[in-house]
Amino acid sequence: MGRKGITGSSGKSDFGEWLSERRKAMRMNTAFLLMAEFETAAIPLSNIAERYLGMRPSTAEQKASLGLLPLPTFRCNDSQKSPRMVHVNDLADLIDKKRKESKEEMEYITKKSKQKNQLAVHQ
């Protein structure tokens, strides 16, 4: 990969800025795909509970009221009858965060496994 997009206005490499932009682009990709799936920026909690949170909508609702979900929820009205919503960017952030954590864990396990295999070969 060339330096295109990595060089700052001073002509010096600005990797931190480039990396920040890449992370935004990744989040935008996730958010974009979620927007395509749900066709709205505010998604009803009940619509994502099972698929993305692994729980029944009623459980997600209870956890949300106690502040125990891994993402913020809101109501568009002050009424308790108004459905609890999740913003598409918050769901995208959660998905990307979990993906990053999983990737780091996999890399750690793979590294440990390779080290263990190398020790076994040398014995």
**Domain-by-domain residue ranges, the chain?**
15-113
pTM over the 0.85 mark: no
Q: In terms of Cα–Cα distance, which of 102, 26, 59 is closest to 48?
A: 59
Q: How far apart are CA 38 and CA 55, in angstroms?
A: 19
Q: Tens digit of pLDDT for each residue in 41-89?
A: 999 999 999 999 999 999 999 999 999 999 999 999 999 999 999 999 9
Q: What distances in angstroms separate CA 112 from CA 31, 53, 107, 116, 118, one per listed residue?
A: 34, 30, 9, 6, 10
Q: Is the pLDDT of residue 14 over 60?
A: yes
